[in-house]
């Protein structure tokens, strides 16, 4: 699928005018066609997101001689290298009353600059002058978290008017709000994580601390400005008349205040200097995760379009997915004949040694010859997965979780067998694991299964979703029927009777609302996942994630605490 723009892209590539997909042969399955349609829909949404605040706003940026956020990143990163965009869907279909906030008003991700893997954060001035919405703050914190977890240098390309005032109560005062950015600046500096800030536009109020708390500050003359209070506020506060350039421009801060370290006539010169700075960073000790020369999967990765059904209720063999992700399609299963609803085993992805924990979606037989539902975690599979996770920690092997889970097995038989304690062992092992974890949500991600399979709350280094992903406390049908029962029971308690046709209407209304909340778009908009990715790009995302994690050497010792037996 060459040419895909699913968040693995060179930002300056023109949006493809022609269809991205090659016409399918008559041999291709309907399932493959449906998956490709879902991927194409994601790409169509991305095309609009990449326009930021719109063509008029971009034109105004150009009139001022400024590059857009994506153009800046494209100029900065190494040519022919991949930029893994994080949070392109942040704010998707949110803040519609305020005119929207494409990509959360910030373009960010992981890319290579002068051969070094870096986190890049660029304000998008075309979106409400780069103002910070609540999701903007969350996205910036997520990008800083990636830098902290993986010990990666951070490059800030600053061009922001500050907090979006109509929503200041949702972005300003709390622990995980705007101020946490500067807290992280200080923490990263103390940990030796390099931070470079280029001020290419406004940098005002509290935001002025970000570049000054970075290691080095660069400014563009006539465009960049740093001050706690702008000319209007200064006039109102103390009666002083002063223009922005004199108050806090590049000349002022490189020649008078000493706040900035470099000034440049153009943005390109500024970005060139960043490349020079990054180029001279000394190498640090790596974590030492094992990697050999990569091999392509022996089985065609394009088969992923047809293996996984778009109908989340249908079964398939997860082993077929794994064999199209691992090098040479070689996969060594751990306890192959035990706990079959979770597949565990060792393989390599793009040369990196990995331990894979995946939900088996086909119906299997347990050791007693009993049929077990695919996608459900049983007692034996939870025990097996917990043990395998501990093994990978012992061997210092990164973990990859492939989620398609409907939850833990319920009913008296499972409860009496201790499903809660067995599930708790698995959750404990995932929570306390010290090796890097990367999660791919392929299909369902329901209830406690989301937790046990390393959902967002369990600190995966990166978490990505396929277009078929569904994240919720339970499936749409079950949730809708449960909510309807509660609503009907409440009406009956008041002596009210609901006609069957009204009951059906309410059920469909609840189901539609619930289904919307389970989509990968809803999850990505709120940063529950880092990106929605094309299935055939999964190997690349996992590989780049482990490459990033390999920079962090301090993992600590595995301590799992109390295990219930």
Task: Kindly report, residue by residue over 176-219, the tens digit of the pLDDT.
Answer: 888 899 999 999 999 999 999 999 999 987 788 899 999 999 99
Q: Which of helix, strand or coil describes residue 369?
A: coil
Q: Which of 13-17, 234-238, 352-356, 549-553 has the highest mean pLDDT?
A: 352-356
Structure tokens given for 202: 């406004």
| Gap between the Cα atoms of 458 and 447, Å rounded | 14
List for the chain the helix, strand, coil content (%; round to 5): 40, 20, 40
User: Which of the four pLDDT bands, split at 50, 70 and 90, describes residue 368?
Assistant: confident
CB neighbours (10 Å) of residue 155?
Answer: 29
Q: Please, which residues have CB within 8 angstroms of residue 189's CB and are 6 or more apart in sequence?
A: 195, 213, 215
10 pLDDT more than 80: no
Radius of gyration of the chain (CA): 25
What pLDDT, on a 0 to 100 scale, did the predictor assign at position 30?
63
| Tens of pLDDT, residues 77-86 | 999 999 999 9
pLDDT for res 176? 87
pLDDT beyond 50 at 16: no
Asked whether residue 6 carries a pLDDT value surpassing 70, the answer given is no
What would the mean pLDDT of 337-363 be, rounded to a whole number? 97
Q: Can you tell me the mean pLDDT for 427-437?
A: 96
**Nearest Cα residue to 319 out of 362, 382, 348:** 362
CA distance 392 to 399: 7
pLDDT band (50, 70, 90) for residue 166: confident
Selection from 539, 69, 516, 496 nearest residue 323 by Cα: 539
Q: What's the pLDDT at 25?
A: 38
Domains of the chain in start order, with CATH, are: 25-279 (3.90.226.10), 301-474+518-549 (3.90.226.10), 476-517 (no CATH)
Average pLDDT of the residues in 384-399: 97
19 pLDDT tier (thresholds 50, 70, 90): very low
If DSSP states are collapsed to H, E and C, what string results for 139-207?
HHHHHHHHHHHHCCCEEEEEEECCECHHHHHHCCCCCCCCCHHHHHHHHHHHCCCCEEEEEEEEEEHHH
Helix (H) or strand (E) holding 331: none
Taking Cα atoms as reference points, which of 116, 119, 117 lies closest to residue 108? 119
Residue 126 has pLDDT above 60, yes or no: yes
3-state SS, residue 491: helix
What would the mean pLDDT of 498-518 be, rounded to a whole number? Answer: 83
pTM of the predicted model, to two decimals? 0.91
User: What's the rounded mean pLDDT across residues 71-76?
Assistant: 98
Residue 1 pLDDT class (50, 70, 90 cuts): very low
Q: What's the pLDDT tens digit per position in 276-322?
A: 999 999 999 999 999 999 999 999 999 999 999 999 889 999 999 99
pLDDT higher at 508 or 525: 525
pLDDT digits (tens, 9 = 90+) for 465-475: 999 999 988 77
The pLDDT assigned to 324 comes to 98
Q: How far apart are CA 534 and CA 414, in angstroms?
A: 37
pLDDT band of 28, cuts 50, 70, 90: very low
- In which band, very low, low, confident or very high, does the pLDDT at 8 lie, cut at 50, 70 and 90? low
């Amino acid at each position: 699928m060459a040419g895909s723009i699913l968040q693995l892209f060179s930002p300056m590539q023109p949006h493809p005018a022609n269809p991205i997909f090659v016409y399918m042969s008559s041999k291709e399955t309907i399932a493959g066609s449906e998956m490709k349609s879902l991927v194409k829909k994601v790409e169509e949404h991305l095309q609009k997101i990449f326009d930021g605040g719109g063509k008029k706003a971009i034109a105004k940026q150009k009139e001022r001689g400024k590059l857009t956020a994506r153009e800046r990143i494209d100029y900065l990163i190494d040519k022919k290298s991949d930029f893994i965009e994080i949070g392109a869907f942040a704010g998707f279909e949110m803040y519609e009353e305020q005119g929207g906030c494409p990509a959360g008003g910030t373009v960010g991700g992981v890319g290579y600059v002068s051969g070094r893997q870096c986190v890049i954060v660029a304000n998008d001035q075309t979106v409400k002058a780069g103002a910070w919405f609540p999701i903007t703050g969350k996205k910036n914190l997520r990008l800083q978290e990636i830098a902290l977890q993986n010990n990666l240098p951070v490059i800030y390309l600053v061009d922001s008017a500050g907090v979006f005032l109509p929503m200041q109560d949702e972005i300003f005062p709390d622990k995980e709000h705007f101020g946490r950015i500067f807290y992280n600046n200080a923490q990263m500096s103390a940990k030796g994580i390099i931070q470079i800030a280029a001020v290419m536009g406004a940098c005002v109020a509290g935001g002025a601390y970000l570049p000054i708390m970075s290691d080095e500050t660069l400014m563009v003359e006539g465009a960049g400005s740093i001050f706690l209070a702008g000319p209007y506020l200064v006039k109102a506060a103390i009666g002083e008349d002063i223009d922005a350039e004199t108050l806090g421009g590049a000349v002022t801060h490189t020649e008078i205040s000493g706040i900035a370290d470099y000034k440049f006539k153009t943005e390109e010169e500024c970005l060139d200097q960043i490349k020079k700075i990054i180029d001279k960073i000394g190498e640090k000790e790596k974590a030492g995760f094992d990697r050999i020369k990569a091999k392509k999967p022996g089985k065609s990765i394009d088969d992923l379009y047809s293996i996984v059904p778009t109908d989340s209720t249908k079964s398939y063999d997860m082993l077929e997915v794994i064999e199209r992700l691992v090098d040479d399609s070689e996969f060594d299963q751990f306890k192959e004949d035990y706990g079959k609803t979770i597949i565990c085993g060792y393989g390599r992805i793009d040369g990196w040694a990995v331990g894979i924990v995946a939900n088996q979606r086909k119906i299997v037989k347990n050791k007693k010859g009993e049929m077990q539902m695919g996608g459900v975690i049983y007692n034996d599979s939870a025990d097996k997965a917990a043990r395998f996770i501990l093994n990978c920690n012992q061997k210092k092997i990164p973990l990859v979780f492939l989620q398609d889970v409907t939850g833990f097995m319920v009913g008296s038989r499972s409860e009496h067998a201790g499903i809660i304690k067995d599930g708790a062992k698995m959750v404990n092992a995932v929570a306390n694991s010290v090796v890097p974890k990367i999660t791919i949500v392929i299909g369902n991600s329901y209830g406690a299964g989301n937790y046990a399979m390393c959902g967002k709350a369990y600190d995966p280094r990166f978490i990505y979703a396929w277009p078929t992903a569904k994240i919720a406390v339970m499936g749409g049908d079950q949730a809708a029927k449960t909510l309807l029962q509660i609503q009907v029971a409440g009406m009956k308690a008041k002596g009210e009777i609901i006609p069957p046709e009204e009951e059906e209407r309410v059920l469909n209304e609840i189901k539609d609302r619930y289904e919307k909340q389970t989509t990968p778009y809803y999850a990505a908009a709120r940063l529950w996942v880092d990106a929605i990715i094309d299935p055939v790009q999964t190997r690349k995302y996992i590989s780049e994630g482990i490459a990033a994690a390999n920079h962090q050497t301090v993992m600590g010792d595995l301590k799992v605490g109390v295990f219930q037996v």
